[in-house]
Structures are given as C-alpha cells and as structure tokens.
Amino acid sequence: AVAHGGGDGGGGDRGGGARSVDRRVVRGPARFIPTADEWCHEFSWSGVPKDGSKTTVQPNANKFKKLSVIPTSMYHNVSEVRTNDDTLITVKLMLFFQLDSIEKMLACTNDPIADFVNAASADVIAFCSGLNYENFLTLTGELNKLETFSQLTTRAHMIGYTISKVVFRGFQAGEKLQAMHDEAIQERTRLRLLEETQEQQQRAEDMKLEGERRRAKMQAELEMEQHRLKTELSLTAQQASIKEQKLIQAAKNELEALQHEADLKQQKAAAAVNMEVFGRTRLIAVVVFRVLSHATPFLDRLASRPVFQFPSLFRRHGCAALSLHYRSIAPFWLVFSLPSLFPAALLVRTCSF
C-alpha cells in the first residue's frame, strides 16, 4: 500500500495540514520504487512474539510492509473459559482464513488478527457458558463447525476476510482437574478395552458354538441321509422281493393253470375215449341182447353140453343175464340192460383160467 502526499503549498514533507493523502495498492510480483512524495504503509498486527509460543498472540508483534494475500492459518488458545459448573478450561483452536478485499481490510481494521482472536474467544466463551464440564466433553465436536463461530465469521466478512475452517485441537483443564480427567480417561480406556476383550471372547465363544451347531446340524443331516438311503435300499429290496415272489407266484399259477389245462385235456380225452368205448360197448350189448333174445333155444341146447354150462339164463324187466361156466372153473357172466330202461352198460366179470 503506497501513500501519496500532495496539496497547495507544495513541499515534500508530511507535516502540512493542508495536504491530502491518497492511497493506491501495488500488486506483485513487481519491482517498486516510491517517488519523493510517496511512502509505503507499514502494517503493525498482532502476532507471535519472538520468544513466545506459537499459540500466544502479542499486539504489534508482527510488523511488515508487504501484505500476503494467500490463504493462511494461525493457532489460538482461548484461556480460562468457564463452564456453567465453574470449571476453568483452555480451548485450543486453529483458524484458517483468506484475504478477499484489501481495500475493505484497509478501510475497516488496523489489526485483523486481533479481531479474529477476540471474535473466536467470544464464540468459545458463549459456547462453554451454557454447558457443564460433562456436556462439554460430549459436545466438543461442535467446535469444528463454522456455525458455532458466528461472531468470527461475521467479523471476518466485515473486514474483507473469509474464514474457511476452524479446527478444534483439544482442551486443557487445571492440574488437579486434568489429573482427575486423565485418571478417568485411563479408567474408561481400561474398561473399554476390557469390554472389547470380553466382547471378543464372547464373539469367539459364539463362533465356536455356531460352528458346533453347524457341525451338529450337518451330522444330523448326514445321519438322516444315511437313514434315508438305508430305508430306500430296504424298500427297494422289499419291492424286489415282492416282485420276485409275485413273478414266482405268477409262474406257479401259470404252471398250475397249464397243468390244470393239461389235466382237463387229459380228462376230456379220457372222457372221449370212454364215451367211444361206451358207445361201442352199448352197440355190442344191444347186438348181443338181440342175439340172445333170438337164440334162447340154441343156448338151452348148448347148456346141456359138458364143455360150457349155463346154470342160469334169465330176463327180468328188460334185462338179460348170462352166466357161463367153462368146465368146473369159476364162471364169468354178462349183464345186459336194455337202452330203454337204463343207460347202456356192460359189466364183465372174469376170472383167470
């Protein structure tokens, strides 16, 4: 920033009351040599002291003539912040910002860093004043959001800057409270590790039980499959045996049927033969009966001979009986029946000679 002095009286000194000062901005990179009536503006901002910490800000500690317009950041610790339960803590922040308008910055502020520090401290104090220590521990993530730093973003916009991000770097309490807090953290960590260890052990037991359950299920399924196969084999064997028995029974029935058919055929053949013999015998009996009926005198004469003897020759109710004796040997006799009274039959009784 270059200031140019000019007025009615002339002269190069800066002390004239009637003189006016104009300001212009020279942007680099460039080589700049001011004229006799120009001088460079010197910035005197709050900054980190040479022998201090980077989180400490001291007024007028940063003096320079060349203004950097690239995005930059700064550390800031808000000390002695009191919660609503009277706990003093130090909140550690990191601010990221960028210069947007040099003219607005030159017109609205002499020390933007001090403005940032004051606005960020006001936002942190307003945030912690409504919380107790336990609630603050659970809501520290809110300090990473720009919505929490409304005063900081508003002030930055007014002086030509943009706050791009705010990072919460942690906090620090008093020594005693910090010691208690550290012990609590250690205890919580120990309990959490113990809980995780127990959860891992439980998961291992669950995995073991699940494996045993799957193994038992597979074993039961295998046994059921084996039992099913045995049942199917037994059923197949029984079906084969029943089928074989049916085939044997069918063959036996067929054989019996063939045997019965053969017997029937044999009986029919025998009956046919008997009928034929019966017919012939009947015819012979009729012929003999007729012959005997007409040969009675001849038989009477024949009975008187010594070779054949006819002890009896009679007819009764249409029947004729003839008893023949050869010498003194047992007789043989014939009985003839008339076809009109009985079925034709011939009964021949013989004895060996």
Residues with Cβ within 8 Å of residue 334, at least 6 apart in sequence: 288, 321, 322, 324, 346, 347, 348
Q: How many domains does the chain have?
A: 1
Q: What confidence score (pLDDT) does residue 99 get?
A: 92
- Give a yes or no: residue 267 inside a domain: no
Residue 286: Cβ-neighbour burial (10 angstroms; 0-12, 13-18, 19+): middle
Long-range CB pairs of 328-332 (<8 Å, 24+ gap) are 329/353
- Give a yes or no: residue 81 inside a domain: yes
Q: Per the omega criterion (within 30 degrees of 0), is the bond before 29 cis? A: yes
Give me 89's structure tokens: 């803590």
For residue 281, pLDDT beyond 50: yes
Compute the average pLDDT of residues 10-15. 43
Give me 295's structure tokens: 């040969």
Q: What is the pLDDT of residues 194-222, one digit of tens each?
A: 988 888 899 899 999 998 999 999 999 99
- For residue 17, what are the CA distances in angstroms to 5, 221, 320? 11, 108, 199
The mean pLDDT of the chain is 78
User: Given pLDDT bands bounded at 50, 70 and 90, which one contains residue 339?
Assistant: very low
Pick 308 or 127 by higher pLDDT. 127
- For residue 223, what are the CA distances in angstroms to 65, 165, 214, 260? 92, 67, 14, 53
- Give a yes or no: residue 214 inside a domain: no
How many residues comprise the chain?
Answer: 353
Q: What confidence score (pLDDT) does residue 341 get?
A: 37
User: Given pLDDT bands bounded at 50, 70 and 90, which one contains residue 28?
Assistant: confident
Pick 277 or 296 by higher pLDDT. 277
- Give a yes or no: residue 202 inside a domain: no
In the chain, helix, strand, coil percent, each to 5? 50, 25, 25
Give backbone dihedrals phi and psi of 85, rounded to 5 degrees, phi first.
-105, 25
Helix (H, G, I), strand (E, B) or coil at 48: coil
- Give a yes or no: residue 38 inside a domain: no
Q: What confidence score (pLDDT) does residue 352 get?
A: 36
Q: What confidence score (pLDDT) does residue 117 get?
A: 94
Q: What confidence score (pLDDT) does residue 4 get?
A: 55
Q: What confidence score (pLDDT) does residue 305 get?
A: 53
Number of neighbours of residue 89 by Cβ within 10 angstroms: 22
73: CATH:
3.30.479.30
- Give a yes or no: residue 335 inside a domain: no
Structural domain of residue 114, as residue ranges?
43-173
The lowest-confidence range among 119-123, 182-186, 276-280, 287-291 is 287-291
Q: How far apart are CA 3 and CA 21, in angstroms?
A: 6
Q: How far apart are CA 286 and CA 27, in angstroms?
A: 169
Helix H or strand E segment including 20? strand 20-24
Pick 213 or 3 by higher pLDDT. 213
Q: What confidence score (pLDDT) does residue 100 get?
A: 92
- Give a yes or no: residue 128 inside a domain: yes
- For residue 84, what are the CA distances in angstroms to 20, 126, 173, 247, 296? 54, 11, 14, 103, 169
Winning range, highest mean pLDDT, from 52-56, 149-153, 319-323: 149-153
- Give a yes or no: residue 101 inside a domain: yes
**pTM above 0.85?**
no
Helix (H, G, I), strand (E, B) or coil at 98: strand
